[in-house]
A and B are shown apart, each in its own frame.
Chain A
Amino acid sequence: MKTYLPPKFIIERDQYRCTQCQACVSQCSFDANYYDAEDDEVRSREENCVGCHRCVVFCPTNAITVRENPSSYRRNESWTHEAIEDIIKQSETGGMLLTGMGTDKGYPIFWDHLLLNASQVTNPSIDPLREPMELTTYLGQKPDMVKLTSDSTDIETEITNQIKLDIPIMLTAMSYGAISLNTQESLARAATEAGTLWNTGEGGLHPSLRKYANNMVAQVASGRFGVHSEYLNMARVVEIKIGQGAKPGIGGHLPGEKVSLDVSATRMIPQGTDALSPAPQHDIYSIEDLSQLIYALKEATNYTKPISVKIAAVHNSAAIASGMVRAGADIIVLDGLRGSTGATPKIIRDNVGIPIELALAAVDERLRKEGIRNKASIVVAGGIRNSGDVTKAIALGADAVYIGTAALIALGCHVCQQCHTGKCAWGICTTNVGLTKRINPNIGTRRLTNLLNSWSLEIKDMLGGMGINAIESLRGNRLHLRGVGLSDTELKILGVRAAGS
Chain B
Amino acid sequence: MKKLSSAQVNAFNMTTRELSCKLREIVADGSERIEIHNTCGQRYIGTGLGAVQLDIYGTPGNDLGAFMDGAEITVHGNAQDGCGNTMNAGKIIIHGNAGDTLGLSARDGKVFVKGNVGYRTGIHMKEYHAQKPVIIIGGTAQDFFGEYMAGGILVLLGLNLQEGERQKANFIGTGMHGGVIYVRGKVEDFQLGKELGTADLNEEDYDALGKIVNEFASYFGHDAQEILKCKFTKLYPLYLRPYGKLYAY
Q: Report which A residues bind B (CB closer than 8 A).
A: 89-90, 92-98, 222-225, 227-229, 232, 253, 255-256, 264-265, 268-270, 272-274, 276, 278, 282-283, 292-293, 295-297, 299-302, 345, 420-421
Contact = CB atoms under 8 A, between A and B. Distances in A.
- Secondary structure of the B contact surface, majority rule: loop
Contact of A264 (B63, B124, B128, B248): B128
Interface in B194-249: 240-249
A224 B240 contact: no
Given A95-B248, A420-B249, A274 B243 contact: yes
B67 interface: yes
B88 interface: yes
B44 A296 contact: yes
Contacts of A94: 248
B47 interface: yes
Please provide the 8 A-B residue pairs with the shortest distance between their CB atoms, ordered closest to farther.
Answer: A95-B248, A93-B248, A224-B105, A268-B128, A300-B67, A98-B247, A299-B47, A299-B44
A273 B177 contact: yes
A330 B69 CA distance: 25
Contact of B63 (A223, A292, A420): A292
Contacts of A253: 243, 246
Interface string B1-43: 0000000000000001000100010000000000000000001
B167 interface: no
Contacts of B62: 292
A297 B104 contact: no
B127 interface: yes
A276 B148 CA distance: 8
Nearest to B243: A253
B60 interface: no
B114 interface: no
10 contacts: A94-B248, A222-B124, A229-B69, A255-B244, A270-B151, A274-B177, A274-B244, A283-B85, A300-B67, A421-B249
Given A255-B241, A292-B62, A97 B248 contact: yes
Contact of A276 (B43, B47, B48, B177): B177
Interface residues of B, number: 45
Given A95-B248, A96-B248, A268-B107, A295 B44 contact: yes
Given A256-B241, A270-B178, A274-B177, A227 B124 contact: no
Interface string B158-180: 00000000000000000101100
A287 to B, nearest CB: 15
Given A97-B248, A228-B86, A278-B123, 12 more contacts: A95-B248, A223-B105, A225-B126, A228-B69, A229-B69, A272-B240, A282-B101, A282-B124, A283-B81, A295-B43, A295-B44, A299-B47
A269 B128 contact: yes
Interface string B120-153: 1001101110010000000000000001101100
A283 B86 CA distance: 10
Contacts of B20: 299
Contacts of B241: 255-256, 273-274
Contact of A300 (B47, B150, B242): B47
Contacts of A232: 67
Contacts of B107: 224, 227-228, 268
Given A90-B248, A282-B104, A296-B67, A273 B150 contact: yes
B244 A256 contact: yes
B249 A98 contact: yes
B82 interface: yes
A152 B127 CA distance: 56
Contact of A269 (B43, B123, B178, B242): B178
Interface string B46-74: 01100000000000001100110100000
Contacts of B126: 224-225, 268-269
Contacts of A300: 47-48, 66-67
Nearest to B62: A292
A115 to B, nearest CB: 41
Contacts of B243: 253, 274, 276
B88 A229 contact: yes
A229 B48 contact: yes
A296 B85 contact: yes
Contacts of B82: 283, 292, 296
B142 to A, nearest CB: 13
A106 B69 CA distance: 49
A299 B66 contact: yes
Given A229-B69, A255-B244, A282-B120, A276 B175 contact: yes
Contact of B248 (A98, A228, A273): A98
Contacts of B244: 255-256, 274
B104 A283 contact: yes
Given A227-B105, A229-B88, A269 B151 contact: yes
B248 A224 contact: no
B60 to A, nearest CB: 13
A256 B240 contact: yes
A283 B69 CA distance: 19
